Amino acid sequence: MKTLIFAAIAVLLLAPISLQAKQEKQKAVLVTGASSGIGLKVTEYLIKNGFYVYAGARKDADLKRLDAMKNTSSVRLDVTKQSEIDAAVKFVAKQGRGLFGIVNNAGVGVFSRMSEMADKDILWIHDVNVMGPHRVNKAFIPMLIESKGRTSIIGSISGYVTGAFSGAYSMSKFAVEAYTESLAADLAESGVHVGIVDPGGFKSKIREKLTLFRLTGSYELNQQLTDEQNVELQKAKEGNDKLKEPDEVAEAVMHLMMSDKPKMRYMVSPNKGGADITMKMLLTRLIQLNSDQPYEYTRDEIVALLDELLKADELLKTE
């Protein structure tokens, strides 16, 4: 009888220690905008690969749904509200797991001619897409430095390719490319890796939301619409359904979070056409920038420089 009592006491005493050891061993990642699309897919992949996920969302129904997932705690997180970011830091710290990674996925878009777009829409896009990751990273950097962890942004190939109607969105995605480079240099000696994943056109709720915004001025999916508006929304849904699921984007995030040699940039195009356009635009800018300037490179000098950079990239992969 005494033996059974002592055994029961030992189990009770060791249980908290075992739980704490498990929490310390399991790496935790914060995902913003985790309720749908790329954010939800990334959350699912992280869980599948053994991470614990703090899943950021804004709506009660989404928070409840995310909480029901294995190895996940929902976090009310609007990246434009510093008070919610500060509360998220306190919540994550209180859980005792620390924080290994961040996936800054929350993002918005408005598409219109730059000559017609309202200032408030441009500022709103930047508040979410640019200042959002900056606020979140800045708040959690002490925890990332402690874990020598990793932070990432879901950018877009729109950070390299733009057009008459995508200017404001592309402005925000161009900006986070520069932000990624700057933060990487800033944290270079801290042991924290900084990277960006640039997807092309994958399946996402953003197309439905953009259609709703164009029709009603609101992104809310559960709106009362006219028959004509419902027809437009259905067309957007059908177009979105034809696109690929963002599994490849989630796989790129997994490499960034798990590889011994994570990259700074990951271009993830759903097809060769998207990749071709992106590379062509990058090289077009190089040619435009180089043309007719006092220190203009010749073709042979450009090729030699390209060979040098490619060789340096190969060396980085083998180190």
| Contact indicator for 152, 100 with CB cutoff of 8 Å | no
Reported as a single tens digit per residue, the pLDDT across 193-242 is 999 999 998 767 666 666 766 767 666 666 777 767 767 767 766 666 67
- In this structure, of 39-53, 133-147, 302-316, the range with the lowest mean pLDDT score is 302-316
| Residue partners of 172: CB distance under 8 A and separation at least 6 | 107, 125, 126, 129, 130
Say which of 52, 54, 160, 169 is annotated catalytic: 169
> For position 19, what pLDDT does the model report?
45
Are 232 and 180 part of one and the same domain? Answer: no
Are 211 and 279 part of one and the same domain? Answer: no
Are 238 and 292 part of one and the same domain? Answer: no
Q: Which residues pair with 30 in a beta bridge?
A: 54, 102
CA dihedral 169, 141, 253, 58 (to 10 degrees): -60
Query: What CATH number corresponds to the domain at position 119?
Result: 3.40.50.720
> For position 215, what pLDDT does the model report?
65
Are 154 and 165 part of one and the same domain? Answer: yes
Are 74 and 113 part of one and the same domain? Answer: yes
Are 179 and 298 part of one and the same domain? Answer: no
Are 159 and 73 part of one and the same domain? Answer: yes
- To the query of whether residue 169 is one of the catalytic residues in this protein, the response is yes
Are 301 and 211 part of one and the same domain? Answer: no
Which residue range is the domain that position 223 belongs to? 207-242
Reported as a single tens digit per residue, the pLDDT across 48-92 is 999 999 999 999 999 999 999 999 999 999 999 999 999 999 999
> For position 224, what pLDDT does the model report?
74
Indicate the number of domains in the chain.
3
Q: How far, in Å, CA of 106 to CA of 34, rounded?
A: 8
| pTM, full prediction | 0.85
> For position 221, what pLDDT does the model report?
64
Q: How far, in Å, CA of 100 to CA of 193, rounded?
A: 10
Are 236 and 249 part of one and the same domain? Answer: no
Are 230 and 278 part of one and the same domain? Answer: no
Are 137 and 12 part of one and the same domain? Answer: yes
Are 81 and 99 part of one and the same domain? Answer: yes
